[in-house]
Amino acid sequence: MIHLENLTKIFHTAYGPKIAVDEVTLTISTGGSLALLGRNGAGKSTLLQMISGAMEPTYGRILSDGTISWPVGFAGAFHPDLTGAQNARFIARVYGAETNEMIEFVQDFCELGNNFFLPVRNYSSGMRARLAFGVSMAVPFDTYLIDEVAAVGDARFREKSNAVLKSRLETSSAVVVSHSMGIVREICDKGAVLENCKITLFDNIEDAITQHEQYMGVK
The amino acid that residue 218 corresponds to is: V
Percent of the chain at pLDDT exceeding 70: 97
Domain borders along the chain are: 1-67+174-219
Is residue 130 within a helix (H) or strand (E), and if so which, with residue range?
A: helix 125-138
Cα 93 to its chain centre, rounded Å, is 21
Residue 6: per-residue pLDDT:
95
Q: What is the pLDDT of residues 5-22, one digit of tens each?
A: 999 999 999 999 999 999
- Look up residue 131 and give its amino acid: L
Dihedral sign, CA of 50, 69, 190, 163?
A: positive
| pLDDT confidence of residue 105 | 96
Please tell me the CATH code under which domain 1-67+174-219 is placed.
3.40.50.300
Per-residue pLDDT at 197 exceeds 90: no
**How many CA atoms lie within 13 Å of 185's alpha carbon, on the beta-carbon side?**
7
Instruction: State the CB neighbour count (10 A cutoff) for residue 186.
Output: 14
CA distance 60 to 9: 9
Find the DSSP H helices in 9-124.
44-52, 84-94, 99-110
Q: Are 13 and 37 in contact (CB under 8 A)?
A: no
Task: Please report, for residues 76, 164, 169, 192, 218, the alpha-carbon distance to residue 212 in angstroms, rounded to integers and kept in the order given.
Answer: 30, 29, 24, 9, 9
β-pairing, 33-37 with 190-195?
A: parallel
pLDDT 10s digits, 136-165: 999 989 999 998 765 566 678 888 888 898
Q: Looking at residue 70, what DSSP letter applies? A: E
Q: How confident is the model at residue 211 (pLDDT cuts 50, 70, 90)?
A: very high
* Residues 32-82 pLDDT 10s: 899 999 999 899 999 999 999 989 999 999 999 999 998 887 777 799 999
Question: Given CA atoms 182, 183, 189, 191 in this order, what sign does their dihedral have?
Answer: negative
Give CA–CA dist 212/214, Å, rounded. Answer: 5
Give this prediction's pTM.
0.87
pLDDT computed for residue 99 by the predictor: 94
Beta bridge partners of 16: 13
